[in-house]
């Protein structure tokens, strides 16, 4: 088969969205069929970026050794808190809504922008920081439903892949930002987690 002869002119075949990268093609100068194609991402679009529920690293807690960001939860008191979902390139793209009720934990994902695409969502729950780790999609606990906790406190991790746009209601994350509904900055929330874990004698 004789290969097509590209005319070298890239034309937009499909616009990029957060769901899918854009596609450009060249056509054959002989027969007019598509000769070559390439995926294109407009400036500020990001695809499949690792994203975590932001929190202190496990290694900041007594006995913890991994760099995994974790959330340390008190299960003796009912609570309803949003934690930041942050991409590895530092953008706030949503919230992990964590509801503690009667010793159970319910985790839901909320987006800052509807167009954000969050796939391969996974969360795990552990009795302490020494066992906490990121879980993969196949081993995730269920979202949007109460899961029984391991006792008076627990550690959770949450991760996913995100397609998003750098701008609009997505913003650069800083732990000085206020955590919605808490009246505290994320930094203060994290400090509270560290203090709780010390009081629990771990």
Shortest Cβ 23–Zn ion spacing (Å): 19
Nearest 5 degrees, angle CA 117-CA 123-CA 125? 165
Nearer of residues 4 and 82 to Zn ion, judged by Cβ:
4
Nearer of residues 7 and 104 to Zn ion, judged by Cβ:
7
Nearer of residues 8 and 181 to Zn ion, judged by Cβ:
8
Task: Map tokens 């203060």 to a residue.
Answer: 188
Shortest Cβ 83–Zn ion spacing (Å): 54
Distance from chain centroid for Cα 48: 10
Show Cβ contacts of residue 189 under 8 Å, excluding neighbours closer than 6 positions.
81, 83, 179, 182
Q: How far apart are CA 109 and CA 70, in angstroms?
A: 16
Nearer of residues 28 and 194 to Zn ion, judged by Cβ:
28
Nearer of residues 34 and 169 to Zn ion, judged by Cβ:
34
Shortest Cβ 145–Zn ion spacing (Å): 55
Q: Which residue is nearest to Zn ion (CB)?
A: 28
- Give the footprint of Zn ion on this chain (CB under 5 A): 4, 28, 30-31
Could you tell me where the DSSP H helices lie in the chain? 186-199
Shortest Cβ 3–Zn ion spacing (Å): 8
3-class secondary-structure state, position 60? helix
Nearer of residues 8 and 90 to Zn ion, judged by Cβ:
8
Shortest Cβ 36–Zn ion spacing (Å): 11
Shortest Cβ 5–Zn ion spacing (Å): 6
Task: Map tokens 């793209």 to a residue.
Answer: 93
DSSP structure string for 46-57 = EEEEEEEE---B
Q: How far apart are CA 109 and CA 103, in angstroms?
A: 20
Residue 90, beta-bridge partner list: none
């Amino acid at each position: 088969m004789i290969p097509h002869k590209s005319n070298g002119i890239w034309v937009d075949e499909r616009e990029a969205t957060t769901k899918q990268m854009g596609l450009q093609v060249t056509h054959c100068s002989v027969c007019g069929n598509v000769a070559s194609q390439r995926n294109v991402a407009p400036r500020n679009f990001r695809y499949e970026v690792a994203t975590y529920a932001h929190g202190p690293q496990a290694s900041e807690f007594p006995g913890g050794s991994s760099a995994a960001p974790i959330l340390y939860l008190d299960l003796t008191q009912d609570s309803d808190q949003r934690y930041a979902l942050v991409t590895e390139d530092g953008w706030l793209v949503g919230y992990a809504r964590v509801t503690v009720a009667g010793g159970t934990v319910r985790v839901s994902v909320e987006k800052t922008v509807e167009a954000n695409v969050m796939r391969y969502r996974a969360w795990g729950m552990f009795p302490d920081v020494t066992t906490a780790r990121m879980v993969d999609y196949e081993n995730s606990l269920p979202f949007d439903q109460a899961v029984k906790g391991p006792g008076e406190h627990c550690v959770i991790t949450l991760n996913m892949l995100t397609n998003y746009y750098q701008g609009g209601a997505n913003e650069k994350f800083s732990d000085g930002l206020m955590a919605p509904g808490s009246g505290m900055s994320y930094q203060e929330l994290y400090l509270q987690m560290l203090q709780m874990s010390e009081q629990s004698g771990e």
